[in-house]
């Protein structure tokens, strides 16, 4: 059973508990849907199970925070959907938000990762769930993702982030609520040398090592995406939630080697649940050397294990929920 999220704002929590109940609506993609975190929300209680929502997603945990005084059964609208883009949020989630309510006190939004093709990068650079097309290897997919983000301020795919945030901010101002827009967390410690020889790809596929160069490039795409999201949140009067900060020390390839990688201290799904090691000779930066390679079995455990890869674990969602709860409680509006 989930434990209440602790908060350092106990006094403000008392003030909230004596006030009228808050209403809360969450929007976004598979990050706030909580892909893999807890148990799947299934029919008959949740007929839209195709969105892949889970019980320990940060919006669900936030709605259960006692200090916020939200009734999860009547005053919480859980709309995030796996695979959602900014356009699909506007098309399918926004109408549900606007229908049947006098106004939501708190809105959260996490979206943008699907615009830059995170899954395509993972497939090309980390797992090889599926064969890649000629010319669409790791370097090409990283360059493609980066170009999509860098063009985001103009006519690129990320223009939709600004349009969606502006529309939600207008709604927030109209009802006197609060809009909190999150970024994403970088996936890797990009400086550890030991992880250069780690591969999550299954046996029989070309080696896809988590080199420092690849980790830095992947992290840079996330940084640039967060910059776009933050800028749009700030210009439209929303509050930006820097969830990347709370994942510090809990990424893939942290200090501590194999044990840290497969422990609960890594707050992303996707590392092997049990080690499968083999010795191989690899070429890293022009140097041939023996490395122990960590491999994932193929398939990695079914469809859910594939879709949840590089999504936050329950501990990651708990940290994000606590961060947002503290932001809400730190300012009494």
Structure tokens at 257: 């080697």
**Domain assignment present for 261:** yes
Q: What is the DSSP letter of 90?
A: I
Q: How far apart are CA 265 and CA 239, in angstroms?
A: 28
Long-range own/partner contacts, residues 273-281 (CB < 8 A, 24 or more apart): 273/301, 278/203, 280/207
Query: pLDDT at position 258, please?
Result: 82
User: Would residue 28 count as lying in a domain?
Assistant: yes
Residue 4 is assigned to a structural domain of this protein: no
Mean pLDDT computed over 156-170? 87
Task: Name which residue leads in pLDDT, 50 or 203.
Answer: 50
pLDDT of res. 154? 52
Q: Is residue 1 part of a domain?
A: no
pLDDT value at residue 253: 95
Task: Please check whether residue 3 lies inside any domain of the structure.
Answer: no
Residue 284: the pLDDT is: 39
> Is residue 272 pLDDT above 70, yes or no?
no
108 within some domain: yes
- Choose the weakest-confidence range: 160-174, 207-221, 270-284: 270-284
pLDDT of residue 291: 43
Most confident of 36-40, 245-249, 297-301: 245-249
Residue range(s) defining the domain that contains residue 257: 10-330
- Of 53 and 1, more confident: 53
pLDDT score, position 250: 97
Q: Is the pLDDT of residue 271 over 80?
A: no
Query: Average pLDDT for residues 167-179, to the nearest whole number?
Result: 94
Residue 151 is predicted with a pLDDT of 77
Is 5 within the bounds of a domain?
A: no
Mapped to the 3 state alphabet, what secondary structure does 272-333 carry? CCCCCEEEEEEEECCEEEEEEEECCCCCCCCHHHHHCCCCECHHHHHHHHHHHHHHHHHCCC
Q: Is 178 helix (H, G, I), strand (E, B) or coil?
A: strand
Q: What is the pLDDT of residue 103?
A: 87
Give the pLDDT score at 136.
86
Instruction: Assign residue 49 the CATH number of its domain.
Output: 3.40.50.1110
* Three-class secondary structure of residue 108 per DSSP: strand
CA-angle at 322, arms to 231 and 58, nearest 5°: 75
Q: What is the per-residue DSSP string for 111-172?
A: --GGGGTHHHHHIIIII-SSPPPTT-SHHHHHHHHHHHHHTTTTTSTTHHHHHHHHHHHHHH
Q: What's the pLDDT score for residue 304?
A: 57
The neighbour count for residue 264, using CB atoms within 10 Å, is 10
Total structural domains in the chain? 1
Q: Which two tokens stand for residue 307?
A: 């879709």
Percent of the residues in the chain that have a pLDDT greater than 70, as a whole number: 77
Q: Would you state the structure tokens that stand for residue 17, as one six-digit string?
A: 């508990």
Decide if 100 is inside a domain: yes
């Amino acid at each position: 059973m989930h434990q209440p999220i602790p908060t350092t704002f106990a006094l403000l929590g008392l003030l909230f508990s004596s006030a009228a109940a808050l209403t809360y609506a969450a929007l976004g993609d598979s990050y706030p849907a909580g892909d893999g975190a807890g148990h799947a929300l299934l029919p008959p209680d949740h007929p839209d199970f195709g969105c892949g929502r889970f019980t320990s997603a940060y919006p669900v945990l936030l709605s259960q925070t006692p200090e916020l005084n939200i009734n999860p059964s009547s005053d919480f609208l859980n709309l995030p959907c796996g695979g959602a883009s900014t356009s699909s949020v506007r098309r399918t989630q926004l109408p549900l938000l606007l229908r049947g309510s006098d106004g939501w006190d708190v809105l959260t939004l996490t979206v943008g990762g699907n615009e830059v093709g995170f899954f395509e990068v993972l497939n090309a650079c980390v797992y090889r769930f599926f064969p890649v097309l000629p010319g669409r290897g790791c370097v090409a997919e990283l360059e493609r993702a980066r170009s999509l983000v860098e063009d985001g301020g103009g006519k690129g795919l990320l223009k939709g982030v600004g349009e969606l945030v502006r529309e939600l901010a207008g709604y927030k101002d109209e009802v006197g609520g609060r809009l909190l827009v999150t970024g994403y967390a970088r996936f890797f410690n990009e400086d550890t040398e030991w992880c250069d020889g780690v591969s999550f790809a299954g046996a029989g596929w070309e080696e896809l090592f988590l080199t420092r160069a690849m980790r830095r490039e992947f992290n840079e795409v996330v940084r640039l995406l967060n910059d776009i999201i933050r800028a749009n949140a700030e210009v439209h009067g929303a509050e930006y939630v820097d969830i990347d900060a709370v994942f510090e020390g809990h990424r893939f390839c942290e200090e501590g080697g194999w044990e840290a990688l497969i422990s609960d201290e890594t707050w992303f799904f996707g590392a092997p649940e049990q080690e499968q090691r083999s010795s191989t000779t690899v070429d890293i930066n022009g140097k041939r050397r023996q490395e122990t390679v960590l491999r994932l079995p193929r398939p990695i455990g079914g469809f859910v294990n594939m879709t949840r890869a590089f999504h936050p674990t329950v501990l990651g969602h708990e940290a994000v929920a606590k961060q947002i709860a503290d932001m809400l409680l730190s300012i009494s509006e």
